[in-house]
Structure 1
Amino acid sequence: MTVMFNHTIIAAKDRDESARFFRELLEVPEAPSWGVFTNIQLDGGVLLQFAEPPVEIQMQHYAFLVDEDLFDRAYRRLCDRGITHWADPQMRRPGEINNEHGGRGVYVKDPAGHAIELITRPYL
């Protein structure tokens, strides 16, 4: 069997709000949720499971490879909703996207403060 990524748990201040943010940004469906998890499903059956931990949340970085059309729609939603975004991970270029690695990219913070990156071309 080859190795495939299956799921990860993302710490959230409000698991439903974070799951909704990701669903709307990435245009993915809800998935069955259970226990302390609110889930969404990516292509290939990958689950993102949002949970509210009893500890302070440390920022994580999550990068998503998206096609050009989804990037355009997601970026339009960010702009239309007035969501702060950056062209760089250091957050020095607000309100911009980048054109690195032969594609486009943008960084945004989710409701829990995690750094979300959307890219249209993989780095390698």
Structure 2
Amino acid sequence: MKKENRLKKNEDFQIVFQRGKSAANRQFVMYSLIKQDQTLPRIGLSVSKKIGNAVERNRIKRLMREALREVLPHIKENVDIVIIARKPVINMSVFQITDSIQHVLKVGKVIKRSQIEVNKK
């Protein structure tokens, strides 16, 4: 992900947690907050220490970033998103993570409508 698409500051994460809406599936929890003054989507990733050691957490974040690279052009422009990984992610491949992230983004309604219609055909 490019720098302008990253959510980095703890303050930004807290605002999304407090004011945003949540959606979830078995592998991920997603919080999203619409921001009218923004032109690019910003995404923050979180992997808890409960999931594994630093090597495993960093691997999971790399796979999540790779999955988001494909989905990013289809995400609404004016939204901040925080995605939190859950334990089942440990044993998943990048393809499974991509499918799961796409699912949670659709449930959270942050994918552009035109893209949803194209995928249904």
Structure-2-length-normalised TM-score: 0.27
Which structure has the larger Rg? Answer: 1
TM-score by length of structure 1 reads 0.27
Which of the two has greater helix per residue? 2
